Structure 1
Amino acid sequence: MSNAKNSAYNDAFKDIPGTVIFDATQSRLGFHLNQFCMTLMKDAARQEFRADEAAYLKKFPMTEEQRQAVLDRDYNRMIALGGNIYFLAKIGATDGLSFQKLASTMTGVSEEEYRAMMVAGGRSPDGNRSKSEQQ
């Protein structure tokens, strides 16, 4: 797909509330954030991170906004700043959170509500198809 077609394709998703397309631009934006997350696959790194999160994060050339989002465990903000959920899940795992708990946090509902919503088929598309529906 050409860059112009890819851009037009991705632009179509910008109207969907809460949607961030993890494309080449987001990948570049979040490269160092995602690299940090990958280090958490090793126990020694998890221990070092837990011991002094701020100091550990300074090892990576992330933006201050990215570092603060990690410290705040603001996963939606991390995604907006280039984080990929599959990498960010390593932070959640380091904190002892299941992916289901992580997702419930990101959607603003309890883990039980999130589980019930997913078992029932997911979030209703009504009011979630376009930002114009929410105005």
Structure 2
Amino acid sequence: MALDKPYLDIPGTTIFDAEQSRKGYWLNQCCSSLMSASNRARFKHDERAYLDEWPLTEPQKLAVLARDLNECIRLGGNIYFLARIGATDGLTFQQMAGAMTGMSEDAYRAMMLGGGRSIEGNRYLGEGGDAQPQSQPSTNIQRS
């Protein structure tokens, strides 16, 4: 039986808890394997074949191939492991975070230097304003 999780109503947020960790175990292990130069080369040579070596779900594989990091997170990925995909593609964490928020790298940097997003309307679903469920921004990162 699932635990009561009062934090599930934070808009646009997936909490990496024990359940998410179990769901994303192999996805995160696959990403961790990209620390090895030989594995990065194999991944870049044939991404699908590399992913097929791991017991990932088909949705996890498709999210990695599309570089949809928000979907990877929903499917159990942890951003610190997923960052290895971006690094394999030659991207900085800031570039990845900008893509995940639907912002350019410059706009994301300016927002963060300005103190980040306002908490107003972003605390929990049902609060009103920005907290209402919306369509997600396009989160596919561009490969270099």
Tell me which residue corresponds to 1:46: 40
Tell me which residue corresponds to 2:94: 100
| Cα displacement string for residues 81-135 of structure 1 (whole angstroms, at most 9, x for unaligned residues) | 0000000000000001100000000000110010000001111112211221234
The offset of 1:12, in angstroms, is 2.1
Asked if residue 114 in structure 1 is aligned to residue 108 in structure 2, the reply is yes
AA partner of residue 115 (structure 1): R
Figure out how many residues of one structure are paired with residues of the other and give that number: 129
- Structure 1, gaps ≥5 residues long: none
TM-score, normalization by structure 1: 0.91
The offset of 1:51, in angstroms, is 0.3
| Cα displacement string for residues 24-48 of structure 1 (whole angstroms, at most 9, x for unaligned residues) | 1111100000000011000000000
Tell me which residue corresponds to 2:13: 19
TM-score, normalization by structure 2: 0.86
SS of residue matched to 2:55:
coil
- Structure 2, gaps ≥5 residues long: 133-144
- Pairwise CA RMSD of aligned residues? 1.4
Identity of aligned residues (%): 58
Choose which of 59, 64, 68 in structure 2 pairs with 1:70.
Answer: 64
Tell me which residue corresponds to 1:128: 122
- Whole-Å separation in 1 of the counterparts to 2:29 and 2:55: 10
